Amino acid sequence: MASKRIQYKVEGEVQGVNFRSFTQKQAKSIGVTGFVANASDGSVQGEAQGSEDAIKQFVQRLHKGPSSASVSKVDQSDVSTKTGESGFNVQ
């Protein structure tokens, strides 16, 4: 199964609204590995790896976010895949 890895950045009302735990829950339910972290500019950033379909699904869920969040923009770019990563961590 071909793996794909992206770097993502979510902007909007995304800190202090459980966005990171929401992201971790979504990633685990889809089977995506990687991490999510709050950035100093108020965005949430991270990397995610999985099948093409899983990544597509993951990004769609990032656009939605938890009910208390308000996502204005999601940027993503392809990065090289990592081997031996297991799980999805909140940093």
Element (H, E) at 22: helix 19-30
Positions marked active-site:
20, 38
Strands 33-38 and 4-13: unpaired
pLDDT at 1 over 70: no
The full DSSP string for 37-90 is EE-TTS-EEEEEEE-HHHHHHHHHHHHH--TT-EEEEEEEEEE---SS--SEEE
Nearest residue to 57 (alpha-carbon basis) of 6, 1, 16: 6
Fold held by 4-78: Alpha-Beta Plaits (3.30.70)
Q: Residues 41-81: pLDDT tens digits? A: 999 999 999 999 999 999 999 999 999 999 999 999 999 99
Q: What global pTM score does this model have?
A: 0.94
What tokens were used for 43? 């965005």
Identity at 66, one-letter amino acid code: P
